[in-house]
Amino acid sequence: MKNMNMISVNAFRPSGFIKKYQQLVHDVMIPYQYRVLTDKEENVARSGAVKNFINAAKALRGEEHEPFFGMVFQDSDVAKWIEAASYSLAVFNDPDLEKKIDEIVDIVAAAQDEDGYLDTRFTVSERERRWQNLLEGHEMYCAGHMMEAACAYFEVTGKRKLLDVMIKNAEHIYKRFVTDKTEGYPGCPEIELALMRLYRCSGNKHCLELAEHFIDCRGVDSHYYEKERATRNWQVWGLNPSDLNYQQSAMPVRMMTDAVGHAVRAAYLFTGMADVANETNDRELFDACTRLWKSMTEKRMYITGGIGSTYHGEAFTADYDLPSDTTYAETCASVALIFFAERMLENDVSGEYGDIMETAFYNTVLAGMQADGKRFFYVNPLEAIPGISGKIPTHRHALTTRPSWFACACCPPNAARLIASFGKYAYGENENTVFCNMFAAGNTEFDNGIKLVCETEYPYSGEIIYRVEGKGKIAVRIPSWSKSYSITKNGAAISPEIRKGYVYINISDGDVISLSLDMTPRIVYASQNVPALSGKAAVCAGPLVYCFEGVDNGGDVLSLFLDISEKPVFEEYDGSLLYGTCKITAKGFRREAQTELYSDRKPSLEATELHGIPYCLWANRGENQMRVWLPYIQGR
């Protein structure tokens, strides 16, 4: 079934917009997160993540040690840092960073039990409780993230130490759940997709078999977690084992039709399903993935590529329930959505998957970090009103400014590892074709012998140039938002073959392919089925969703109306604004202020200009009002 493979992270050397963000990850985010994880950053909540591994090693040696600290999945923060740092090494030569990774790997390896088990929460203080709480214990979730870290570090450096640790860990898990036939499946899916990476990296077929096992047995006994809960007298958070939708266990995964439950867990699970389907040519499983993809992206996704609309359980709710002010849209959920989209794209080269990848990346994922790389959003609302957002009980999760860290710190290193590995998602290949799934300036060398140099100022310009070395085909995604486009080969207009949103062009050494996309700012309307967005519209340009902040609009956005009779326009690129960006100006109206709570007097409207910035850059200039969706009026 597989039609395309993602490229190695070593194959892409960025420039332009992506280089700026990858430089920020390398120069700021990775060192900052290293200091946080090693408890060396002042004025930030203690992490204890690296110290937990040190204490686990002491516990294994029978030495005196400190208690475990933090969330039950604290190990995963270290794993994602290793992965992000590894990807960064592929772009930036940094012996000091490599040394730091080696030191962390040594610390992690020392915490592995003799039988291959690796989890600091239970090794430090509760060894007798290993594997007794799959619903809440996150042992396989942490293992999965460390498997991904091991593959990344091996892929970039060729160093096997962590890879061998995690192969041993996978064999431990295989023995328990396959060889010994112990009942159970992960409470928090993630290991499934990680095992597939470990399988391809190591060639160990037990990894593939284990991934298949966890997918095949999930939900077959939908009441497994209830039975598990009855066998123990302790818990971590007190999750309800009977909430079958929350934990995606109500039915076998092949029967699932709707994206339900915890959004991050769901997207990780679906990614693993798509990966196994691709590898094993399992059409039934892939058909389930297609149904779940449609449920997620056609009825339960925000315009920004955010998923998971409620704070309660960080979960999906119902079709078209997409409120702006109480949005959850966890940063991690959009990272996982990109993973899912890429796995679907590998099997079915269709532009819809690339469309969603870039929407989630340029909007929710980038919004999850401050422009200076030092502060982060866990939740990504589409409306923020100081005094309400982040304050009242129903809106407490929807903050107006980014915190420096979190007790549950999954999102910052997740964003870092995705940004650092962007090239793997932007480009793909098969035997004779290179695929341009997203537009990323830089040099790319493919295993099939083709080399590309991409020149573009995307996402602020729709002009993209590819300079070719080698011979074969190039397949370029035409975004669905581009109402028109033109493409030339060596300066001459061509009419290439078009399949599922990609143009396919024969290429030879020295060819220059030029693509021009329509970046005209556009007004976007929601389906009438979305109750929260009746009478409202948003403004987009290219892959970017724009928002309106008080700082650009007289301090108040609640009184603004968008005039849909005139198209918004780009302002000139401003290199000094928010590290360089383009504002958008739109025609609109401002309603006069009303002092009474309610009045039967018709308010007057005054024509005004509305100024928007890319949503990913909001909350970088202090606390102020923000809206993505504005009420609209047909001009007078």
In one letter, which amino acid is 152?
Answer: A
Known catalytic membership, residue 314: yes
Q: Alpha-carbon distance 212 to 4, whole Å? A: 21
Residue type, 552: D
On whether the CB atoms of residues 375 and 402 are closer than 8 A, the answer is yes
Q: Using CB atoms within 10 A of its CB, is residue 404 exposed (0-12), middle (13-18) or buried (19+)?
A: middle
Report which of 540, 553, 555, 565 is spatially closest to residue 609, judged by C-alpha positions.
553
The residue whose two tokens read 């960025």 is 14
Question: Residue 297: enclosing H or E segment and its boundaries?
Answer: helix 283-299
How far apart CA 171 and CA 168 sit, in angstroms, is 5
For the question of residue 209 being annotated catalytic, the response is no
283-289 own/partner pairs: CB under 8 Å, 24+ apart: 283/1, 284/254, 285/215, 285/253, 285/254, 286/1, 286/347, 288/253, 288/254, 288/255, 288/256, 289/344
Q: What is the DSSP letter of 553?
A: T
Residues 6 or more apart whose CB falls under 8 angstroms from that of 528 comprise 534
Catalytic residue among 410, 454, 540, 582: 410
Does residue 307 sit in helix, strand or coil?
strand
For residue 605, what are the β-bridge partners? 591
Catalytic residue of the set 139, 190, 314, 383: 314
The residue whose two tokens read 């997709």 is 193
Contact of 346 with 278, CB cutoff 8 Å: yes
> Can you read off the two tokens belonging to residue 258?
């709707």
90 bridge partner residues: none
Count CB-CB contacts under 10 A for residue 15. Answer: 16
Closest CA to 157 of 77, 81, 95: 95
Query: Which pair of tokens denotes residue 545?
Result: 């969703």
Give burial (CB, 10 Å; 0-12/13-18/19+) of 67: exposed
DSSP assignments along 47-104, one per residue:
--HHHHHHHHHHHHTT---PPP-S-TTTHHHHHHHHHHHHHHHHHS--HHHHHHHHHH
CA distance 163 to 169: 10
Q: How many residues does the chain have?
A: 636
C-alpha distance from residue 473 to each of 199, 352, 432, 492, 517 (Å) = 29, 21, 6, 17, 20
Whether the CA torsion 571, 575, 578, 579 is positive or negative: it is: positive
Residues with catalytic function:
314, 410
